[in-house]
Amino acid sequence: EADIYQTPRYLVIGTGKKITLECSQTMGHDKMYWYQQDPGMELHLIHYSYGVNSTEKGDLSSESTVSRIRTEHFPLTLESARPSHTSQYLCASSAFSGTVNYGYTFGSGTRLTVV
């Protein structure tokens, strides 16, 4: 049973459209992340959040933006989609207690194709 949900699973959209990829988790985790993964490639961190109203950019530069208004919700938005944004986007959350990391849980991903 998934505790972190991403919608939609698949999205094909035209160039220039605005899109929002949804990510929600029911575990009460403070920390949430967005990763981008091209087919057959490694994952790259593009955004993360350590709590409500906290967002940071990751290692890989991305034209997307994120928001964190509620603990359980971490949507990613592309204001104007381009073919170069075609990729899989994975959302994750994690729990920490002091310096102890209790692991990361990933959603099933959104496979985005921009035509």
Q: Which residues bind another protein (CB under 8 A)?
A: 6, 33, 40-43, 45, 50, 88, 90, 92, 94, 96, 99-101, 103-109, 111
Closest approach of another protein to the CB of residue 94, in Å: 8
- Amino acid at site 63: E
- Residue closer to another protein by CB (options 22, 106) is 106
- Residue closer to another protein by CB (options 16, 59) is 59
Closest approach of another protein to the CB of residue 16, in Å: 26
**Mapping DSSP to helix (H, G, I), strand (E, B) and coil, where does residue 84 land?**
helix
Say how many C-beta atoms besides its own lie within 10 A of residue 102's C-beta: 11
- Residue closer to another protein by CB (options 15, 54) is 54
